[in-house]
Amino acid sequence: MDKHDGSDNNKKVGVLIGGSGLIGGGILHYFKTMNGGEFDLLAPNSKRLSLRDPDDIQLYLKRHTPDFIINTAITAIDSNPLLTYETNYRGTVNLARAAIDLGIPYIHFSSAAVMPTGDNLTEDEQLSLTPELANYPKSKLLAELALQEMHRRLGLDYTNIRLAVVYGEHDHKIQGFQRMLFALADQTMPFLFTNQQALHSYSNAKKVPFFVHHVLKHRQEFGGRTVHFVDPNPVSLSQLILTIKSYLVLKRPREIFLPYPLARFGADCMVALTRMLRRIGIESKMPPELMFLENFYQTQTLSAAKLRQSSFVDPNPQATIFTELPMLIQYYLTRWEDLNLLVPEDKIFFDPNKRAEIFLNKPEQILASLGDDVVRPFLDTCTWPRGGVVDSEVEDKERQNMI
Ligand SMILES: NC(=O)c1ccc[n+]([C@@H]2O[C@H](COP(=O)([O-])OP(=O)(O)OC[C@H]3O[C@@H](n4cnc5c(N)ncnc54)[C@H](OP(=O)(O)O)[C@@H]3O)[C@@H](O)[C@H]2O)c1
């Protein structure tokens, strides 16, 4: 086997699964830019290595023989039972088996969805494994239970990082907290789908890579352990919604707490309506987060004591969902408007070079300027001038630019 496939042998090489996702993307970016050259991270996409395919896992890990594995992959939370089982459970177990064979650490990501409701829940708390559980929590719980067993019986060196509601940039699938922000910005939340008491824990996606780095460097302390990676203070859902509403200067949602039975009834009617629309060929889908509707009305807070008592030092203890809101709103609203997912009434492009305006109204100008663009070398490796077809005026301009 070709150890690490030609990378610098002094570096530890890891394999990250799920590198295009919200959490995986942040980890990939961090290890590319901020780890001081200690680690190299390979991040095959799901076409190259699908967790559903044991052969993919075997081939890739045998070829690269990494020093650690990080798994942030999940299938969409409303996927069917087979896809959910194969990706979230079987894929996890096969990665852990490979980690045992290679004698390397396996860093796993799990979710508060495996826990009951309640206040200040510790890492030992888990739901009971029953057939009634929805696919996503069932698969995540099964994966946690399997990892515990493999640690006990086979000595798997793993760390299970449990996240609560995640907030952060680059959630391109618009899930969880970001889905709620979208519903508010899109004005599709008429009332408050919660009550005054419901509190939840939140996890800051930006801080996750710092923790992963720390966990990799402190195997003795974190081996075989589950840790809640959550902000210390729980957040009131209604307060969060109303804060976003005031930032966005919205009329909706009205400050009326919709009782759970009414919210459930409304959601069930919407599900029936979307089914009917699909039957007559109109594409429609309910947000998968509706499976957690009951949780909007119940408190679930995860104890951060274990994290606080560990050797990990929070890189930005002041940051909370509230301090990050302005940045998140700016990022997501710009993105959703650019993608035409949100259509504001009076959109003003920030486009000082008027590129969008030219693209819209004078596309021929773009082609006309192509000549100037392509003669300029793009890679530093390319000798100047390119192709010997540069007229002297362009040549002069190029020389001036290079000086
Ligand atoms: N986001 C949250 O609010 C939240 C809350 C609690 C816990 N968590 C946990 O945090 C972890 C990361 O979640 P996330 O929000 O970052 O997820 P995400 O944004 O949905 O990303 C999921 C990733 O999994 C990959 N993937 C899907 N199917 C795969 C397959 N068959 N083989 C290999 N890769 C596959 C996806 O790649 P493609 O795009 O190529 O399919 C994507 O990169 C998960 O364990 C999740 O349970 C998340």
Question: Residue 99's domain is classified under what CATH number?
Answer: 3.40.50.720
Same domain? 250 vs 366:
no
Ligand 1 nearest-atom number relative to CA 18: 43
Confidence band for 345, pLDDT divided at 50, 70 and 90: low
Q: What is the mean pLDDT of residues 320-334?
A: 95
pLDDT for residue 383: 59
Q: What is the pTM of this model?
A: 0.87
Tell me which residue of 81, 118, 77 sits closest to 295, measured CA to CA.
Answer: 118
Å from CA of 351 to ligand 1 middle: 34
pLDDT bracket for residue 347 (50, 70, 90): low
Ligand 1 within 6 A of CB of 168? no
Does ligand 1 lie within 6 Å of residue 89's CB atom? no
| Ligand 1 neighbour 300 (Cβ under 6 A) | no
Predicted pLDDT of residue 374: 80
* In a shared domain, residues 305 and 291: no
Are 104 and 14 in a shared domain? yes
Ligand 1, atom 36, lies closest to the CA of 18
> Would you say the CB of residue 57 lies under 6 angstroms from ligand 1?
no
Q: Which long-range contacts (CB under 8 A, 24 or more apart) does 276-280 make?
A: none
Same domain, 180 and 116: no
Task: List, in sequence order, every beta strand (DSSP E) within 156-295.
Answer: 158-163, 165-167, 199-200, 202-204, 225-228, 235-236
Q: Are residues 250 and 131 in the same domain?
A: no
Do 184 and 105 fall within a single domain?
no
For ligand 1, whether the C-beta of 173 sits within 6 Å is: yes
| Confidence tier at 265 by pLDDT (50, 70, 90) | confident
- Please report, for the chain, how many H helices and E strands are present, in that order: 17, 12
The residue written with tokens 């100047």 in the block is 384
From 94-98, 179-183, 316-320, the region with the lowest mean pLDDT: 179-183
Q: Which residues constitute the domain of residue 247?
A: 171-199+235-298+318-348
CA-to-CA distance for 180 and 188, rounded, in angstroms?
10
* Residue type at 396 in one-letter notation: D
Per the rule left: phi > 0, alpha: psi between -120 and 50, beta: everything else, 370 is: alpha
Q: Are residues 307 and 222 in the same domain?
A: yes
Minimum-distance ligand 1 atom for the alpha carbon of 24 = 16
Residues 305 and 252 in one domain: no
Buried b (16+ CB within 10 A) or exposed e, 274-310: eeeeeeeeeeeeebbbbbbbebbbbbbbbbbeebeeb
DSSP-based three-state secondary structure for 164: coil
Local confidence band at 273 (pLDDT 50, 70, 90 cut-offs): confident
Kindly state whether residues 177 and 211 are assigned to the same domain.
Answer: no
Q: What percent of the chain has pLDDT over 90?
A: 67
Reported as a single tens digit per residue, the pLDDT across 358-367 is 888 898 988 8
**373 and 277 part of one domain:** no
Shortest-distance atom of ligand 1 to CA 111: 7
Q: Which residue has the tokens 């494994």?
A: 129
Ligand 1 contact, 28 CB (< 6 A)? no
- Structural domains counted in the chain: 3
Looking at the fold, whether 294 and 306 belong to one and the same domain comes out as no
| 182 and 122 share one domain | no
Residue 22 alpha carbon to ligand 1 centre in Å: 7
Of 19 and 288, the structure prediction assigns the larger pLDDT to 19
87 CB under 6 A from ligand 1? yes
Lowest-pLDDT range, 252-256, 348-352, 353-357? 348-352
Q: Is the pLDDT of residue 282 over 90?
A: no
